[in-house]
Amino acid sequence: MVGAGVAGTVTPAAVRPQLAQQSSQSAPMSGLFSVRLFGAKGDGVSIDSPAINRAIDAAVAAGGGTVLFTAGVYLSYSIRLKSKVGLHLDNGATLLAASTPLDGTTTGGYDIAEPQGEWEPYQDYGHNHWHNSLIWGDGLDSISITGPGLIWGKGLTRGWNREAGRPDTTKPGVGNKTIALKNCRNVLLRDFKIREGGWFGILATGVDNLTIDNLLIDTNRDGIDIDCCRNVHVSNCTVNSPWDDGICPKSSFALGHARPTENLTITNCFVTGGYELGSVLEGTWKPLAHPSQPTGRIKLGTESNGGFRNVTISNCVFESCKGFALESVDGALVEDITFTGITMRDMRSAPLFLRLGTRMRGPQDASPGVMKRIIMSNITCSSAVSMPCILAGVSTHPIEDIKISAVFLEHAGAGTAQMAALLPEERANAYPEPEMFGELPATGIFARHVRNLEVSHFEVATRSADARPAFWMSEVVGADFFNVRVPSGSAHAYDLRQVKEFRSFGSRRLADVNLDNIEDRKI
């Protein structure tokens, strides 16, 4: 049943009797507006967006309602949402993004990308514009898009040409997002599917009171981007995004000011980048033909001017993708983050990546960010990851107050003594990715510039013998390790460099140790 508590939604059971009555009448009934009644053909050939927008306008004139797509293929350019209106895609309904030439068009095509201010260079083109989308809304209240139909962004550009290694065109008339919402409130997105969503399947910027539930997204770039939003709940979603991030909260400068993403929950979701585009949607689950490093993860950042506060990510599954990333590199305050109940399999990068850096893409008067009070627990990572977890601040701005517990991490191993001796570059202002530091001298946790780190019930296993320690730390103040397990036969459990207030206790194969000041020591 489609949620009945949001304006503009109806249940499928209520749709069909009213639709039968509409077929013999000239006006909509009871707040239900079939796009066919306003001239939509649904034949996959005719451009139906003018009829769809007429249905939306009629619903607005009636004080609100639901715009209905019955079974059919609705070829469309930009659809303009309005307040107190919901779109409902019935079983068998496909909303299909029409194609445009990449060199642009002066007639037809998608709505023109709206102009921006001097802050446009602070984030990529796709984050700065909303109108050049298949479905868009700006400054709206009480809107919804519900399923169980399909939205196929076939005619949208993804903003980057993989084959040519360059950006796609941003010319007038070209669309690059499936759903784009700006400065809206009280929004429900539920039960529909997105295939090939363009640059973003969903881009929500400055949207408050947003619920995203039971979506299946099988896409060619980002799945869901939640930017500068407040009170957001994402649940029960499946996202396959081999070439970009699956669920990606951000806090960019796209609104012209720094605004945090806060009061956010993500739960019961499955993210992956390991399957061919469309195969998850079709149920064939065809492995990606070139799986060198699929993305497909949950990542907070990279755009992070406003910060992240009060975030809980729970009961999620990562498969064949990069691991979880939490990033502040543009001056963001990141605090009170919980990441718990997570299963990871076949990770292609660091399982956990926490980065506080100083890229500082934004206003010149901004200060470096803060990252503190992070809890990460009940995490399994199997199928032999090739990197350790990474906690990396900078010398002037350490990451603070991190608790990591109940973790099993299976590492591929096979590290050499030369790898154990590495001292990776700092790269304080580089784009944040786990691979930024190159090979790392640890199998479990690499921690640098951290204050108050607590690790408990953490097991590191390696498939092959490895000369590296499980835990490598540099310039860490206050490190407590309790009941950790390291690979049998390891030469060392810890490599400590300029570490203060270090304690390790309660571990079966390691003697308890409590040290105040360590310049350079292996344990």
What is the Cα–Cα distance from 240 to 320, expressed in whole angstroms? Answer: 10
> What local confidence, expressed as pLDDT, does residue 23 receive?
43
Q: Is the pLDDT of residue 4 over 50?
A: no
**237 has a pLDDT exceeding 90:** yes
pTM for the structure as a whole = 0.93
State how far the Cα of 244 lies from the Cα of 64, in Å rounded to an integer.
Answer: 36
pLDDT of residue 350: 97
pLDDT of residue 466: 95
Q: How far apart are CA 453 and CA 405, in angstroms?
A: 11
Q: What is the predicted pLDDT for the residue at 161?
A: 61
Q: What span, in angstroms and rounded, lies between the C-alpha atoms of 70 and 34? A: 8
Q: Which residues pair with 456 in a beta bridge?
A: 405, 482
Asked if pLDDT for residue 322 goes beyond 50, the answer is: yes
pLDDT in tens, 126-157: 899 999 999 999 999 999 999 999 999 999 99
Q: Under 8 Å CB-to-CB from 61, ≥6 apart: which residues?
A: none
- Nearest CA to 59 out of 76, 80, 40, 75 is that of 80
Give the pairing of strands 399-413 and 370-385.
parallel
What are 80-136's pLDDT values in tens digits? 999 999 999 999 999 999 999 877 777 789 999 998 889 999 998 889 999 999 999
Q: Band the pLDDT of 28: cuts 50, 70, 90.
A: low
C-alpha 385/C-alpha 244 separation (Å) is 19
Choice among 104-108, 294-298, 343-347, 465-469 with the minimum mean pLDDT: 104-108
For 11-21, the pLDDT digits (tens) are: 444 445 554 44
User: Residue 43 contacts by C-beta under 8 Å, 6 or more apart in sequence?
Assistant: 72, 73
Under the banding of pLDDT at 50, 70 and 90, the label for residue 6 is: very low
Tokens of residue 56, six digits: 């939306």
Could you give the CA distance from residue 6 to residue 1 in angstroms, rounded to a whole number? 13
Q: Give the helix/strand (H/E) hosting 52.
A: helix 49-61
Instruction: Give the pLDDT score at 365.
Output: 85
pLDDT band at 26 (very low <50, low <70, confident <90, very high): very low
Q: Which residue has the tokens 């944040």?
A: 432
Count other C-beta atoms under 10 Å from residue 506's C-beta. 13
* Tokens read off for 414: 């096979």
Which of 167-171, 188-192, 367-371 is predicted least confidently?
Answer: 167-171
Whether the predicted pLDDT of 168 surpasses 70 = no
Secondary structure tally for the chain: helices H, strands E: 4, 36
Q: Residue 121 — φ and ψ, nearest 5°?
A: -70, -10
Structure tokens at 481: 């390790």
pLDDT of amino acid 103: 77
Q: Which strand (E) or helix (H) includes residue 373?
A: strand 370-385
